[in-house]
Every structure is written in structure tokens, then in C-alpha cells.
Amino acid sequence: MAHAHGKAGVKAAIRAGVRSVEHGTELDEEAIQLMLEKGTWLVPTLGVGQFILDRIEAGDAIAPAIAVKARKNHAMRSESFRKAVAAGVRVAMGSDSAAGSHGNNLVELRLMHEMGMAPLDVLAAATSSAAELMRIDDRVGTVETGKQADLVVVSGDPLDFAAYPGNIRAVYRRGKRVRSYPE
């Protein structure tokens, strides 16, 4: 996996044989074509930029230069994501470790959908595709006999990603309920 933003770094990483590119802020047509040819995954980390933009909107003390860069990078990453999805690049959901507050990774699903990814593809990016990328799809990623039952149960429309944070009803880890939430 390669933590890469710029065109040159992304392309060098793909040519070197990385399995995935995290961020991919500046994907051009050549980079997208290379990803398709090599089967390289994109982990767009859209929520990272959104987290910073939300902090700016909330009035947090963010240096003006950082705010300008955050807006520019978020716009570039969004456009790169749209182009990659339209071209058929494989996408998995992921985060950027400590960039942003923990527990807000559901924002990534909403952003993927808002930026043009089909709802069922968004669900796959967070489940089966992420498991395949990490090479653990023999154990997790789909609901099948013999696999760990790691599940998040939501009420309402399972494709309404914006409503997820308020609609989580239970979390299961290896088939055992580890958390319940009131309706």
C-alpha cells in the first residue's frame, strides 16, 4: 500500500507494484489507466478532507494557509475519486489513522455515495472489497457460513448512508452482540 497524493508518487507506486493507493489526491488519466491495468485499489480517504472542512466551518482556529490547502486538496481528491469510479477502479473504504476523530468513518460511506458511487458499490467498498484488499476475505467481508459474523445492524433504509449514525441498532463481533443502541 502507498500513502500517495501527487501524480508522480501515485504512478511510481503503481509501477512498483503496490496493492493499493491511499488518498490518490491527484489521479490523472494515466494513473487511472495504470490502476486498471495493474489491478491497484484506491482507498480514497474522503473523510479526512471533510473532517478538516467541518472544523473550518465550525469556526475552529485553522491557519488560513491550511484552510486553503484543505479546500484545494478535498476538491482534487473528490474529482480524482469520481474519475476513478467512473473508469472502474476497484475501491475499498479506509481511513487515515489519526487524521480526524475516531468513530466517524461512516462519513466516508456518505461521501462516496454523494460523489457518484452506486449504493451497493459503497456497501461493498466497506465490506467485501475492503476484506479482499486486506486479503482476509476468507474470514470476513460477507455474510456466509463459516465466516466471522462481524455485523452492524441499522434500522431504516440500509442505503441511506447519511442516516447511518443515528440508525445503528446493534454491533456484533464474531456472532456475539457487543453493543446495542436504543431506538
Residue 4 has pLDDT above 70, yes or no: yes
- 80 and 98 co-located in one domain: yes
| Percentage with pLDDT > 70 across the chain | 96
Question: What CA–CA distance (Å, rounded) separates 83 from 36?
Answer: 12
- 121 and 34 co-located in one domain: yes
Q: What is the pTM of this model?
A: 0.90
What mean pLDDT is predicted for residues 33-52?
93
- 152 and 167 co-located in one domain: yes
- 98 and 165 co-located in one domain: no
* Number of helices followed by number of strands (H, E) in the chain: 8, 6
- 137 and 152 co-located in one domain: no
- 92 and 122 co-located in one domain: yes
Sequence-distant (6+) residues with CB within 8 A of 57 are none
Q: What pLDDT does 129 receive?
A: 98
What mean pLDDT is predicted for residues 43-48?
90
CATH number for position 32:
3.20.20.140
Rounded to 10 deg, the angle between the 46-57 and 64-87 helix axes is 150
- 122 and 62 co-located in one domain: yes
Number of domains observed in the structure of the chain? 2
- 83 and 165 co-located in one domain: no
Residue 165: pLDDT band with limits 50, 70, 90:
confident
Residue 149: pLDDT band with limits 50, 70, 90:
confident
- 27 and 97 co-located in one domain: yes
Instruction: DSSP for 50-78, please give it.
Output: HHHHHHHHTT----HHHHHHHHHHHHHHH
Q: What pLDDT does 100 receive?
A: 58
Q: What pLDDT does 98 receive?
A: 61
Residue 10 has pLDDT above 80, yes or no: yes
- 67 and 17 co-located in one domain: yes
Q: What pLDDT does 182 receive?
A: 86
Q: What pLDDT does 96 receive?
A: 75
For the chain, give the mean pLDDT.
92
- 25 and 86 co-located in one domain: yes
Domain of 179 in residue numbering reads as: 148-183
Query: Among residues 141, 159, 174, which one ends one of the domains?
Result: 141
Q: What pLDDT does 15 receive?
A: 98
- 153 and 135 co-located in one domain: no
**Residue range 92-146, pLDDT digits in tens:** 998 876 655 566 788 899 999 999 999 999 999 999 999 999 999 999 999 999 9
Amino acid at 145: T
